[in-house]
Structure 1
Amino acid sequence: MSLVKIDNLSKSFDNNFALNDITIDIKGKMVTGLVGPDGAGKTTLIRLMTGLLDKTSGNINVLGYDLPKFSHEIQKDIGYMPQKFGLYEDLSVKENLLLYAKLQEIPKNEIQNRINELLSFTNLSDFDSFLAKNLSGGMKQKLGLACALIKKPKLLLLDEPGVGVDPISRRELWDIVQQLIKDNVGVIWSTAYLDEAELCDEVILLDHGKILFNGNPNELKKTMNNKVFKLVGSFENKRETLRLALKNDKVKDGVILGNSIKLVCEDEKFLPKLNQINATNCKYEKIEPNFEDGFMNILNGNFNSDSPLSSELKTLEKIEGSLIEAISLTKKFGNFTATNNVSFQIKQGEIFGFLGPNGAGKSTTFKMLCGLLHPSSGEAKVLGLSLEKSSYKARKKIGYMSQKFALYGDISVIENMKFFAGIYGLKGKEKDNKIKSMIKIFELEKYLKYPAKDLPLGFKQRLALSCAVMHNPSVLFLDEPTSGIDPITRREFWNHIYAMVKKGMTIMVTTHFMDEAEYCDRIALIYKGKAIALDTPHNLISQVGKNATMEDAFIELIKRNKNA
């Protein structure tokens, strides 16, 4: 049975097509994934299915009703969770559910039972009195999902529910959705995480409003058979080997995987010669492709690994010892300990990953290391300077990109850039030249007069990164810099990160993308405010099992700590 039938659908905004003549048939009793780069049309398509947007042309039938004529009837039978879900931050979990129950006209005598049922279903029963603003990211998403389910829907539409959510919470969300499928609820799940897309029964891949692929994810994976290889052995410099490999025209994509490098190449005979990429002590192995390989291929992703940022940044003076130090860092908020006696050191030119579940204390620790929060005890040092005693000197050497978009949304892109250049002490011609080069590097030309809040997410992140690095910092803190952006833009970001490290910059990064964790030199895993593991990605994975993934290691190490 079809839940959604779409024929020759188009939707345009100011003569620009967000969706262009697409035809889809979405079946029930399964999870259908919507994937694609930023601006592909995923959110527009979901909003059209809910009746919140009017089509430009074509036909949409949802649950047997034509839109827009029967939008009211459709809205009674669907659940919808938008990207920015409308939770009321100052209401408790239970009060949010009660509000949505009343908005959905649930009979009074059924409300309490339905709320109790959903609290149990989403494992939020112990948190029903918590204010929504005090929940972790994962719990907020589960509460948003519960609100969308308050009136048992026949079709559930989820617009990127996993964004900003740690792997444990994403698995919990997925388990909840799988249970809904058993209860005959059809699910449409838009996602930026390609490992999630790989789990879907069917996938619709959109780009620039067109459908590039519609089918089972395994079909797309099969198109990459015998085209994906792993380079293993003893590397002099993994990042340099990857850069050189990607300069080969036949190599279409490549990423670091812990102690190895993955390369995508049309044919084994075209792989770069080992002596040409500083990998003489290495060898190639054929590996099974994943959905992301097929995704990148169908979008014609072709990466040469050269970041234009490289030529703009000055090479930093060599510094011995640790550039970043956390010394028994502790931060308490009342009786709650957010960071508990955390210690580590980071050397120059390192990419240091800081991982943990939502609410583990990552952002709190980050803010102490940037001088934005004072520790309750312990000390944070950057370049040997205490952030409490020499905060001004230290901060001049720091770049910081926060988890939530922290630029000024109501002023334009160019005004934000001028403001932050001034804050970082850039003046006159140097300031003008730096802004011009950042505009070019991050391709911001056509958005200069846009209010920052109106930028597409990928460009918001580009703007934030440009503002964080324009003063050539020695140390850069990136708090979930790629959250919610598509894999192509993520590749671009990591090219910039590699370029900055090559110039001697030291980078500390948090991420919920476990593949990104493998790009780091070392990782600290934090749980309940404590650092429970500190090692290279390869060694952390090895603690869990030979064929384990970084996500397996993340979940298993936390589970072991829970049970210790």
Structure 2
Amino acid sequence: MTTGAGKAELVRLSDVTKRFGDAAPALDAVSGSILGGEITGLVGPDGAGKTTLIRLMTSLMLPDGGTVEVLGFDTAKDPAAIQASIGYMPQRFGLYEDLSVQENLDLYADLRGLPKAERAAVFDELLTFTDLKRFTSRLAGKLSGGMKQKLGLACALLKKPRLLLLDEPGVGVDPISRRELWKMVENLTNEGIGVVWSTAYLDEAEACDGVLLLNQGKLLFSGKPADMTARVENRVFKVSGIVGRKRQVLAKLLDEDGIIDGVIQGEAIRIVTRDGAKPEILSAGDGAKASPAPPRFEDAFVDMLGGGPGGRSKLAEAQQTLTARDERPVIEAKGLTKRFGDFTAADDITFDIRRGEIFGLLGPNGAGKSTTFKMLCGLLKPTAGEGRVAGFDLRRDAAEARNQLGYMAQKFSLYGDLSIGQNLDFFAGVYGLSGQRKRERVALMNEIFDFGRHAGQSSKDLPLGLKQRLALACAVMHEPRALFLDEPTSGVDPITRREFWTHINALVEKGVTVLVTTHFMEEAEYCDRISLIYRGRSIALGSPDELKAGVVTTDQPDPTMEDAFIALIERSEAQTKEAA
């Protein structure tokens, strides 16, 4: 069937409902369509129903209500016909890490029934397409995150599909690899292939031809991204010329009636006003001015969900103000180097972080930022150089240093079989709390994060947003001087992310020092300073505005943080080639 625009309708969803047990529906009467020659974004936070919907399209699951038609076939009646004509890349693609790139291709060619006579030409085309020709003998387990995704894409394309289903291909992938993946997928649509790109990154939604926006199993929006952002047209402003501490100003702005959302953007603040309201920026102080800014998809999503959580943090209000012990920075890296055999993962990394500062570590997958992060947490012993936290040397005084920091891992690292209360009790004990002090802090965390109605539930069964709140509660239980946050908001909904950063911003105002890694370039804007790490070395150090200003050109007069990230790495690559 073709649409009025002449594009084939590859998928038709009619009141699709799916339940698991007695919980609320994973999908609740979802209807929509997916066209050939387009990228359709299946957009929403973790738990929205994206993976469930994709698995229904593959016929790996069947709906409890409604119908799913793929390429003209009913998924309940003709699963084999559908599976023979689609390409599918699951969220955790099943690469065999102990096989090489070529061996993985051979295996999936066997599984997909690709005739041996066609394989050489198909392999050559796909390896060229994904730029993996140089790595055919490398074990899949030794590939970076971006390269693994490219290999997964190649395996999904061994038999050219009419419909390609990609379940969160950009998760945990740096901006350069994500941009490369997008170019590859856009080239496929030129051949008429329909692509479903599932994502929790709302900036990716803007690059799609069409969007199905899900939240808690419900379809909130279906259409072109521009139609979604139009709902906040003329309601988004950039507040500049701020005098004083911008985080305090943001908190005050968020408490104004006419402002529903706001985030730090370098030295400025980006706000979204209520429909019909004029931006009130009296809280921003004398000299501040608000100028119109282009709306983003995320602005419209936050508006659709009723606005952000406001500027108040009960967590920070209960935090004692941390005063400077001396003039030394709270976190120090001096020549930190880590070698694994002949491979240098981090090379002479040097920076310091002052009290009440948010410092970001950015870099592509495999660049060395996680290695640097782990050395400063005391989780990895450096080969050379030294690290300090709150004045304690991580080599000689590791236990004392760890007691001064709170750590929130990239993946949920609490004890899944323990309940919320048991995790809070356990981590309070680990951080040396006991008696009345321990009881008070655990009770406070339960009150602040509203854990009460989930108190007895196993942590592994919690929704992602609640897991993130629990991880933060455990990390700040002992009122640490430094917080280490490793991609803390990956996959969560925008309201939960706003809530998280409201707490972090307010804690920083109480003197807490923060080291954060992130692939969200918007979150990089929240940092006071950033170190960009590439191939084990720090290639740039400065504020977000300084890094962006350093890549301004006549063709790119107002670069984004992502533009700066990519330009600085390309510049480093060019300098390395010149030196060679």
> The TM-score by the shorter chain falls in which range?
over 0.9
Shift of 1:278: 4.2
* SS class of match (1:169): helix
Partner of 2:539: 532
- Contact kept? 1:259, 1:538, Cα under 8 Å: yes
Matched residue type, 1:284:
A
Partner of 2:548: 541
Aligned counterparts of 1:80 and 1:312: Cα–Cα separation in 2: 48
Q: TM-score, normalised by structure 1?
A: 0.96
The one of 159, 173, 176 aligned to 2:181: 173
Q: TM-score, normalised by structure 2?
A: 0.93
Aligned counterparts of 2:330 and 2:50: Cα–Cα separation in 1: 42
Matched residue type, 1:27:
L
Shift of 1:432: 3.1
Partner of 1:483: 490
* SS class of match (2:19): strand
Relative distance call for 1:129 and 1:456 in structure 2 (3 A) is farther
- Contact kept? 2:309, 2:495, Cα under 8 Å: no
Aligned counterparts of 1:128 and 1:410: Cα–Cα separation in 2: 40
Shift of 1:474: 0.6
The one of 5, 8, 12 aligned to 2:12: 5
Larger mean Cα displacement after TM superposition, 318-327 or 424-433: 424-433
Q: Is 2:137 the partner of 1:126?
A: no
- Contact kept? 1:29, 1:186, Cα under 8 Å: yes
Q: Is 2:303 the partner of 1:297?
A: yes
Partner of 1:313: 319
Partner of 1:431: 438
Partner of 2:3: none
Which runs of structure 1 show a deviation greater than 4 angstroms over 4 or more consecutive aligned residues?
none
Larger mean Cα displacement after TM superposition, 477-486 or 536-545: 477-486
Partner of 2:399: 392
The one of 543, 560, 563 aligned to 2:571: 560
* SS class of match (1:270): coil
Relative distance call for 1:447 and 1:76 in structure 2 (3 A) is farther
Larger mean Cα displacement after TM superposition, 94-103 or 489-498: 94-103
Shift of 1:381: 0.9
- The equivalences for 1:89-238 within 5 A come to 89-238=97-246
Aligned counterparts of 1:84 and 1:91: Cα–Cα separation in 2: 16
Q: Is 2:253 the partner of 1:245?
A: yes
The one of 500, 510, 523 aligned to 1:503: 510
Task: Specify every segment of 5 or more residues in structure 1 that has no aligned partner in the other structure, as ranges.
Answer: none
* SS class of match (1:17): coil
Aligned counterparts of 2:492 and 2:396: Cα–Cα separation in 1: 37
Aligned counterparts of 1:495 and 1:273: Cα–Cα separation in 2: 19
Shift of 1:211: 1.8
Partner of 1:64: 72
When the two chains are superposed, the root-mean-square deviation of aligned CA atoms in Å is 1.7
Aligned counterparts of 1:412 and 1:273: Cα–Cα separation in 2: 44
Shift of 1:85: 1.8
Task: Specify every segment of 5 or more residues in structure 2 that has no aligned partner in the other structure, as ranges.
Answer: 1-7, 576-580
Shift of 1:258: 0.8
- The equivalences for 1:333-482 within 5 A come to 333-482=340-489
* SS class of match (1:190): strand
Relative distance call for 1:376 and 1:267 in structure 2 (3 A) is same
Shift of 1:359: 0.5
- Contact kept? 1:8, 1:58, Cα under 8 Å: yes
Shift of 1:235: 2.0
Deviations 1:345-365 (A, max 9, x none): 110000001111111100100
Aligned counterparts of 1:280 and 1:257: Cα–Cα separation in 2: 19
- Contact kept? 1:192, 1:487, Cα under 8 Å: no
Larger mean Cα displacement after TM superposition, 344-353 or 494-503: 494-503
* SS class of match (1:223): helix
Matched residue type, 2:400:
K
Number of corresponding residues: 562
* SS class of match (1:90): coil
Relative distance call for 1:526 and 1:65 in structure 2 (3 A) is same
Aligned counterparts of 2:444 and 2:107: Cα–Cα separation in 1: 50
Matched residue type, 1:291:
F
Relative distance call for 1:447 and 1:159 in structure 2 (3 A) is farther
Shift of 1:91: 1.9
Aligned counterparts of 1:459 and 1:133: Cα–Cα separation in 2: 31
Matched residue type, 2:231:
T
Relative distance call for 1:414 and 1:150 in structure 2 (3 A) is farther
Relative distance call for 1:150 and 1:312 in structure 2 (3 A) is farther
Identity of matched residues, %: 56
Shift of 1:268: 7.5
Aligned counterparts of 1:126 and 1:557: Cα–Cα separation in 2: 24
Shift of 1:219: 1.1
Deviations 1:388-438 (A, max 9, x none): 011111111011122233223344443333322221112233323322332
Aligned counterparts of 2:462 and 2:293: Cα–Cα separation in 1: 38
Partner of 2:292: 286
Relative distance call for 1:405 and 1:128 in structure 2 (3 A) is farther
- Contact kept? 2:45, 2:491, Cα under 8 Å: no
Matched residue type, 2:370:
S
Matched residue type, 1:559:
E
Aligned counterparts of 1:410 and 1:151: Cα–Cα separation in 2: 42
Aligned counterparts of 1:216 and 1:110: Cα–Cα separation in 2: 38
Matched residue type, 2:248:
E
- Contact kept? 1:37, 1:488, Cα under 8 Å: no
Shift of 1:514: 0.6
Shift of 1:269: 5.7
